[in-house]
Amino acid sequence: MDYLSEVMWTEDEIAFRKEVRAFCEKEIAPIADEIDKGPYPRELLRKIGKAGYMGVLHDASAGGSEKGVSYEIIIAEEISAVNGGLDMGRMSSTTLYGMPVSKFGTEEQKKKYLLPIVNGEKIGCIGITEPDVGSDTAAMKTRAEKDGDEWVINGEKRFITNGSQADYMCCFAITDPSVSSKKGMSAFIVDTKSEGFSVVQDHDLLGMKSARVSWLKMEDVRVPSGMLLGELGQGFTILMDELDSERTAIAAEAIGYGRTAFEVSVRYANEREQFGRPIRAFEGISFKVADMAMKLEAARALTLTAARMLDRGMKATKQASIAKLYATDAAVQITNDAIQILGGVGYTTDYPVERFMRDARLMTIGGGTAEIMRFIIQREIYKEFFPRK
Ligand SMILES: Cc1cc2nc3c(=O)[nH]c(=O)nc-3n(C[C@H](O)[C@H](O)[C@H](O)COP(=O)(O)OP(=O)(O)OC[C@H]3O[C@@H](n4cnc5c(N)ncnc54)[C@H](O)[C@@H]3O)c2cc1C
């Protein structure tokens, strides 16, 4: 198969993909439709953690294997190719919550608040978005005020993946409203069992049905000062740092949905006969298959490039945004074409393509919309063309 190509992946990565795929076939595929009624069982996340698929980005002190982003995108693609919402939950815990703790947390914080995430015992989430704050994260309203040895947090966070299931949230809040958010925002680890922390509601979503995505409220939530992540006022830097790895992994998830929809379509077009021949004989169908394959290959190459850059410690803001924009758009088109190739049965739940189409639709919104990706890409291009002296 092309994704096992020796041109793109190392021998170890190819072996790792085979291993993850075998795990998915055994542990997830048999219940993929069932768990889509949501939420995914906690036990499944524990199994994923035990298998080591929550820790490839984290160091040994947090129970991780430090394999890197190229391994994370293999896991993201393989699990997403079976169930989208489950990987969104896994990734929110280990990458979106985990990376800020991993990169900016103290050794003590990592031991206490990351290790149980990596082994799948606890669930994490990231709290950026608010009812009035989406793409413009710098306009954040959630406030944290110092009171003795504690921080008191007030605010609401909306659309938080894992929200009502999570044990810990990496919460971004304004700590100094007198300066710009770039200097006045900080990040905290918040225990969701804290007094004043509540779930307003779980959102009823178009897709990603196996995940829980919630609206959360914090009223005078007291957080010990030792749960500040990084330096005071470093929140915006932490937020921006997290996004490049998140966007690369989201691109890989999108490839997963597209891949399954593509494989189902190729087989169906070969078997289904109309007008006395398999429908693959009609250009209207076979050209779609060619376009789907091309988009998948391109998405994979872009995503792996971003992953390799991140693994080398390079700044990958433009590449991660390009990969995310292209792969998520491709997944929407591929899953949509898959339904067209299957005709009426594509619109039923007898085949999983309608589920993948609904899951894929989120990906041009979450983690930064397609419009914001275009904004970032052009901004980075102008920075390259006209560097500040
Ligand atoms: C299922 C799901 C899970 C999510 N999980 C999380 C999570 O775990 N944690 C978290 O913090 N957030 C999460 N989000 C929130 C997600 O990141 C935001 O929805 C996203 O960033 C967009 O914000 P918004 O929805 O407020 O849209 P808005 O920012 O209000 O945008 C609305 C429209 O305006 C466009 N727009 C806005 N600004 C510009 C601009 N400058 N130029 C051009 N167009 C623009 C957007 O592209 C979009 O089309 C999740 C969302 C969903 C739906």
Tell me the pLDDT tens digit for each residue of 134-146: 999 999 999 999 9
Atom of ligand 1 nearest to the CA of 137: 21
- Give the integer Cα–Cα distance in Å for 40 and 86: 6
Beta bridge partners of 213: 161
Q: What is the mean pLDDT of the chain?
A: 96
Task: Average the pLDDT over 40-52 and give the result.
Answer: 96
Domain at 237-385, CATH from 3.30.1300.10, 3.30.460.20, 1.10.260.40, 1.20.140.10:
1.20.140.10
- From ligand 1's centre to the CA of 73, what distance in Å? 23
For residue 191, the model assigns a pLDDT of 98
Domain with CATH 2.40.110.10 in the chain: 124-231
Q: Which of 126, 130, 135 for a ligand 1 pocket mutation test, highest count of atoms within 8 Å of Cβ? A: 135
Ligand 1 site-directed mutation target among 88, 91, 129, 212, most atoms within 8 Å of CB: 129
Give pLDDT, residue 184.
Answer: 97
Provide the pLDDT confidence category of residue 72 given band limits of 50, 70 and 90.
very high
**Ligand 1 atom closest to residue 136's alpha carbon, by position in its atom list:** 29
Give the pLDDT of residue 174: 98
124-127 vs 168-174, strand pairing mode: parallel
User: Looking at residues 27-34, what average pLDDT do you find?
Assistant: 96
C-alpha span between 234 and 239 (Å, rounded): 9
What sign for the dihedral angle of Cα 374, 364, 93, 313?
negative
Band of pLDDT at residue 6, cut at 50, 70 and 90: confident
> Per-residue pLDDT for 123 more than 70?
yes
Which atom of ligand 1 approaches the CA of 205 most closely? 1
pLDDT cut 90: percent of the chain above it = 96
Give residue 38's pLDDT. 86
Overall average pLDDT of the 109-133 stretch: 97
Measuring from atom 48 of ligand 1, which residue has the nearest CA? 369
Per-residue pLDDT, averaged over 255-282, amounts to 98
pLDDT surpassing 90 at residue 109: yes
- Which CATH code fits 124-231? 2.40.110.10
On the question of pLDDT at 283 being above 80, the answer is yes
Structure tokens at 367: 């983690």
Closest CA relative to residue 64, chosen from 23, 109, 96, 110: 110
Nearby residues of 251 by Cβ (< 8 Å), 6 or more positions away:
73, 299, 302, 303, 306, 320, 323, 324, 326, 327, 328
Neighbours of 63 (CB within 10 A): 20
> Could you tell me the pLDDT band of residue 224, with boundaries at 50, 70 and 90?
very high
Mean pLDDT score, 339-354: 97
Q: What integer pLDDT is reported at residue 54 of this predicted model?
A: 97
Q: How confident is the model at residue 5 (pLDDT cuts 50, 70, 90)?
A: confident
pLDDT exceeds 90 at position 222: yes
**Atom 27 of ligand 1 has which residue's CA nearest to it?**
134
Closest atom of ligand 1 relative to the 371 alpha carbon: 47
- Cα R_g (the chain), whole angstroms: 21
Report the nearest atom of ligand 1 relative to the CA of 375: 42
| pLDDT value at residue 343 | 98
Split at pLDDT 50, 70, 90, the class of 340 is very high
Residues carrying CATH 1.10.540.10, the chain: 2-118
Whether the predicted pLDDT of 2 surpasses 60: no
Whole-angstrom Cα distance, residue 199 to residue 217? 6
Residues 140-169 pLDDT 10s = 999 999 999 999 999 999 999 999 999 999
Range(s) within the chain of domains with CATH label 1.20.140.10: 237-385
Mean pLDDT of 338-361: 97
Distance 366 CA to ligand 1 centre (A): 6
Residue 3 has pLDDT above 70, yes or no: no
Is pLDDT of 389 > 90? Answer: no
CATH architecture label of 2-118: Orthogonal Bundle (1.10)
Q: Would you say residue 4 has pLDDT above 70? A: no
- Report pLDDT for 242: 77
| Coil, helix or strand at residue 229 | strand
pLDDT band, very low/low/confident/very high, at 388 (cuts 50, 70, 90): confident
For residue 330, pLDDT beyond 70: yes
- Average pLDDT in the 297-307 region? 97
Whether the per-residue pLDDT at 119 is higher than 80: the answer is yes
Q: If you measure from the C-alpha of residue 365 to the centroid of ligand 1, how many angstroms do you get, rounded to a whole number? A: 6
Pocket of ligand 1 (CB under 6 A): 92, 125-129, 134-135, 159-161, 205, 208, 213, 362, 365-369, 371-372, 375
Determine the pLDDT at residue 102.
95
